[in-house]
């Protein structure tokens, strides 16, 4: 018992590295800004006031105004909520089927393994960006189409990782002993498989969320994806780029927001030295 507790403590210590803690704190601060700002200010992110166009920071608007006189504070917080929400949905939508299919393929083997692997290979045959663009073209001006397309790309990573780790675990003495003692698949997954793949899933999930945020911003930057006047980080860059000389502070805000978001997620992904 003491040895098990010591092992758990060692895993927790290695899991919560200084880099990962910094990433969690930074992401929590960004999320707090995104979700708490509407409760602090009462500003519509799409309301225009041309007399404030490209205005600098003031006491009422600490982040200034964009080229149409819209509040940068309100638009930046709304854009962060959209990016965080779509990234979270993309990761969850990709992780759940990817992990479930990976465990199923490794557990059953044989025909099931080959069929699921064939489906994954079929998705890999299509470039990820092309798959996302297809969904956006079919359902234009629909943010959910972005996360569906990204999820169809990301689930393969969870499947391949889970399948690889689970295949080794299924053949391990611990799992074989549990099955001989009559424990069912749910117990084996909860007791033996999930503790081993959870840290790896967190790493893939953090990288996947960062990739989703970068993809959404990049698609909007090239005018594919979210349409005006919806606040989105990439779209904000596109709209403000022509006014860089007049209001560089306005353009830098969504750029810094994307940088900090991806940096925090990469810190959270960290390294899983064990």
Between helices 110-125 and 143-170, what is the axis angle to 10°?
A: 140
Cα(258)–Cα(192) distance, integer angstroms: 37
Cα(135)–Cα(144) distance, integer angstroms: 10
Give pTM, 2 decimals.
Answer: 0.82
**pLDDT score of 76:** 94
**pLDDT score of 14:** 59
Q: How far is CA 128 from CA 31, 36, 134, in A?
A: 28, 34, 10
Pair 71, 53: CB distance under 8 Å: no
Domain architecture of the chain: domains with CATH? 17-43+64-168+198-269 (1.10.3720)
Structure tokens at 108: 């059953």
Q: Which residues of the chain have pLDDT under 70?
A: 1-15, 140-143, 271-274
**pLDDT score of 56:** 85
For residue range 27-75, list pLDDT tens digits in order: 999 999 999 998 888 778 888 888 888 888 888 888 999 989 899 999 9
């Amino acid at each position: 018992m003491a040895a098990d507790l010591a092992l758990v403590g060692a895993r927790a210590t290695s899991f919560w590295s200084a880099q990962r803690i910094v990433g969690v704190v930074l992401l929590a601060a960004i999320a707090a800004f995104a979700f708490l700002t509407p409760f602090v200010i009462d500003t519509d992110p799409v309301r225009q006031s041309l007399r404030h166009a490209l205005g600098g920071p003031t006491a009422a608007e600490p982040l200034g105004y964009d080229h149409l006189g819209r509040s940068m504070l309100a638009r930046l917080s709304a854009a962060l909520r959209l990016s965080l929400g779509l990234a979270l949905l993309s990761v969850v939508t990709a992780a759940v089927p990817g992990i479930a299919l990976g465990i199923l393929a490794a557990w059953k083997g044989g025909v099931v393994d080959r069929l699921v692997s064939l489906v994954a290979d079929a998705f890999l045959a299509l470039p990820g960006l092309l798959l996302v663009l297809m969904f956006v073209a079919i359902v234009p001006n629909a943010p959910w189409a972005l996360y569906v397309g990204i999820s169809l790309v990301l689930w393969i990573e969870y499947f391949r990782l889970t399948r690889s780790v689970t295949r080794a675990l299924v053949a391990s003495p611990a799992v074989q002993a549990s099955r001989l003692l009559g424990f069912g698949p749910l117990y084996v997954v909860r007791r033996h498989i999930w503790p081993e793949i959870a840290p790896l899933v967190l790493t893939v999930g953090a990288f996947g969320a960062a990739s989703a945020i970068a993809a959404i911003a990049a698609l909007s930057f090239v005018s594919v994806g979210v349409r005006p006047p919806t606040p989105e980080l990439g779209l904000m860059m596109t709209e403000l780029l022509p006014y860089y000389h007049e209001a560089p502070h306005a353009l830098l805000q969504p750029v810094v927001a994307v940088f900090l978001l991806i940096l925090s997620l990469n810190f959270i992904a960290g390294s899983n030295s064990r």
